[in-house]
Chain A
Amino acid sequence: MFGALLATEATTLDALLAVACDFSPRVERCDSAAADGPCEVLVDLSGLTRLFGDAQTIASELRRTAADRGLRVRVALAGTSTAARLLVHQEPGLTVIEPGAEAATLAPLAIDALTAVATPGLPAPDILTFRRWGLRTLGDLANLPGDEVAARLGQAGVAWQRVARGEDPHPLVPALPEERFEQALDLEWPIDGLEPLSFVLGRLMEPLGAHLARRNRGAAALHVRLHLVTRAVHERTLQLPTPIRDARTLRTLALLDLEANPPTAAIDRVVVAADPTPARVLQFSLLTRALPSPEQLSTLMARLTALMGEGRCGSPVEVDSWQPGAFAMTPFAPAEPDAASKDAAYVPDVRRPGLQTRLGDSVSPWPVVALRRFRPPVPVRVGVDEGKPSRITTDRRGLSGGRVEMCAGPWRTSGAWWESHGWDRDEWDVMLTDRTTYRLFHERDTGQWFLEGIVD
């Protein structure tokens, strides 16, 4: 036996679900036909007659419980969930029908009643067509020959005919309670330091990872809460680049983060929680080399960041600026190679002398001369002869100075003069007598010379 509860006043679905859950754990949320329609839930009441009595008593109890919580609801009980839903939309108050009498009870209802019952996977009922056929009630539709309906309206028409008879198109799908992916451990003695904490985290991450795996979920974010002996709570949140549920990876990431942000006192309670998200589905290719897994990359990036510092590891990207050497760092997150790059895969033919790369049958444009940029630029003393650099002197160990044998320039660039980091300078490429070639610039506002980098 199924019951349908329909809120007659504006209320939240959670409140209605709470009433239904007091009677049975098998409760389904129903989608309303209109987006702002009243809240509706279905509840499986099988076996409740031993607890409450007959169906009428159960319906009364449902309505009374809702009223105790300040909800005004309609209640309908029937042998099928579809019949209960159709009745709850049409009949006010309590409606109870005996199992097996669904079709007869629904038959006098107007054909428009179908619009109130949105069924997943079924298109909206074609009420206009039904009216053109002269159908006025659900009974009229239910009594039509099934094959004739199928010939004219297809499987959707047959499905709506079954709904008109009160038959269920699918079994009840119970709503699962929201699960918390959290593990906690109260310590008998406070622990101080990361080494003992790593064991505790390992013990907590194992069941957390197993829980995520059972639900086919991964952690999108990991929360670590350390309750300190000072009554303070040291909380860290790690946003993970991809859903991860590997316990060792989660523990390593948490530890590396705590290394950089250690707690200020000893710990007497540890809580780890994960924000679940659907797990990744990976399809590896037989034709390309597999990239490191996101777990490996996350761990690597966390270790590198701990070693080198924030913002010193990742992929460089250009920024919207003409400033020489401007760039920004982004997290390193390589995508799987696409088909285009696979097609362009290079197969060296070592048997053929003077081989060419496969780049439109043209000679490769590489290599290109690179610049090794000094950050920050190295100040130098420059002798100027007839407006061009003639000698470079530097105190920096490892950099050569001397007479300029060849130079090209100047190229004047300026920009962002309206901001504090503006630039206005003349650039030169200069080659010294020992063939070391520098890019040099002269700041026009201060008159100072700097080495920007070595051409290499």
Chain B
Amino acid sequence: MANTSRTTLEAALRGRKLDRTLTTALPSIERTPTDVAALDACLHGGCPRGQVSEIAGPPSSGRTALLLALVGAATRHGEIAAIVDTFDRLDMASTTAAGIDRTRLLWVRGQAIAGSPPTGVERALDRALKAFTLVLQAGGFGVVALDVADVPVAALTRLPFTTWRRVQRMVEGSDTACVIVAPQPLARSAGGVTLLLSPSTTHTMRWTGNSNRSRLLAGLDVAVRVVSPRRRMDGEVVITASAL
């Protein structure tokens, strides 16, 4: 009886071209790998293309390490990638260590904010969003990332929700994996994933050496909780990011 009702309901939805809401009608999603084995296994191959995904976490939780891993994988596989860097925070040595082919990386540098006046932050965020929109509209990029990790949460929450909805509509159906790096989850689209990094009190920096003189920063254990649509690939993995 239940099966009959379900079939009838699905047929009615298909008849009105509303079958995108059905799990059985979801198209297979292409993915772009991160080249981090454990994470790719958890994500069923990588970040979904044509969707907005996000990497969210506090400072020193490994957000940038994951972003650069994703961008590095895309450029190594012959794709082009773009990073819209709201506050001009990208480090050259880090891109080298992440294996990024820099000739295939478009870096859009925002304005470094010397102090923290709210108007300056909002202006920088506004410009970054416009640049992000331009890159997405141009198309052809394998990965497009917006780095708003250092933008105050208050400024992000003041953005109208239609901002992210518009981004989702732009990415929909394209071959671009859109990634937003933020201090907290903001704008995942229906088919995207959220990589939620552990709070600062639990993640672990790895050090080597016993004395101050011999001690070295060896790496960071990044605890990633994957939140996905319909909990299809929810899980938690711990990745070790090695130091530069």
**Chain A interface (Cβ < 8 Å from any Cβ of B):** 288-292, 296-297, 299-300, 303-304, 307-308, 312-318, 325-327, 329, 332-335, 337, 341-342, 344-346, 348, 350, 353-357, 359, 363-376, 388, 396-398, 400, 406-409, 429, 431, 434-437, 453-456
Contacts and interface: CB of A to CB of B under 8 A. Distances in A.
B56 interface: no
A364 B110 CA distance: 31
B205 A435 contact: yes
Q: Which of A341, A366, A374 has the most CB of B within 10 A?
A: A366
A375 B111 CA distance: 9
Contact of B207 (A344, A366, A408, A434): A408
A368 B91 contact: no
B48 interface: no
Interface stretch (B6-14, B19-27, B94-102, B158-166): B94-102
A308 B135 CA distance: 13
A256 to B, nearest CB: 11
B219 interface: yes
Contacts of B2: none
Contact of B95 (A307, A316, A455): A316
A374 B78 contact: no
Contact of A367 (B59, B65, B90, B140): B65
A355 B244 contact: no
A370 B107 contact: no
B112 A350 contact: no
B107 A313 contact: yes
A398 B78 contact: no
Given A296-B140, A373-B91, A375-B112, A344 B80 contact: no
B99 to A, nearest CB: 6
7 contacts: A312-B109, A334-B104, A346-B76, A354-B38, A369-B241, A370-B244, A456-B149
Given A348-B46, A363-B37, A456-B65, A368 B107 contact: no
A120 B102 CA distance: 45
B106 A289 contact: no
A429 B220 CA distance: 13
B66 interface: yes
B64 A456 contact: yes
Q: What's the interface size class on B, roughly?
A: 35 or more
Given A304-B134, A346-B35, A456-B61, A366 B98 contact: yes
Given A288-B78, A376-B114, 13 more contacts: A292-B140, A292-B141, A313-B108, A314-B107, A315-B103, A329-B107, A345-B77, A366-B35, A368-B97, A408-B209, A408-B216, A453-B91, A456-B61
What 8 A-B pairs have minimum CB-CB distances, sorted nearest first? A337-B78, A292-B140, A370-B94, A370-B64, A367-B69, A348-B45, A397-B116, A408-B215
B106 to A, nearest CB: 5
A315 B116 contact: no
Nearest to B220: A369
A317 B135 CA distance: 21
B219 A369 contact: yes
A456 B207 CA distance: 15
Contacts of A345: 77-78
Contacts of A388: 212
B63 interface: yes
Contacts of B239: 367
Most A Cβ at <10 Å: residue of B60, B73, B77, B103: B60
Nearest to A356: B37
Interface string B198-215: 001101110101001001
Contacts of A406: 205, 207, 215
Nearest to A357: B35
Contacts of A365: 99, 242
Given A345-B77, A364-B37, A454-B60, A307 B134 contact: yes
Nearest to A396: B116
Given A308-B108, A367-B239, A436 B59 contact: yes
Secondary structure type dominating chain A contacts: loop
A339 B79 CA distance: 13
Given A289-B175, A315-B103, A315-B107, A435 B94 contact: no
A162 to B, nearest CB: 53
B180 interface: no
B112 A376 contact: yes
B236 interface: no
Nearest to B73: A346
Contacts of B31: 348
Contacts of B149: 372, 456
A388 B212 CA distance: 8
B215 to A, nearest CB: 4
Contact of A366 (B36, B110, B152): B36
Contacts of B219: 369
Contact of B80 (A308, A334, A368, A409): A334
Which of B66, B77, B152, B216 neighbours the largest number of chain A CB atoms within 10 Å of its CB? Answer: B77
A371 B34 CA distance: 19
Contacts of B89: 372-375, 453
B139 interface: yes
Contacts of A372: 59, 64, 89-91, 149-150
A374 B116 CA distance: 13
Nearest to A332: B106
A296 B110 CA distance: 22
A367 B98 contact: yes
A396 to B, nearest CB: 6
A28 to B, nearest CB: 45
A329 to B, nearest CB: 8
Nearest to A455: B60
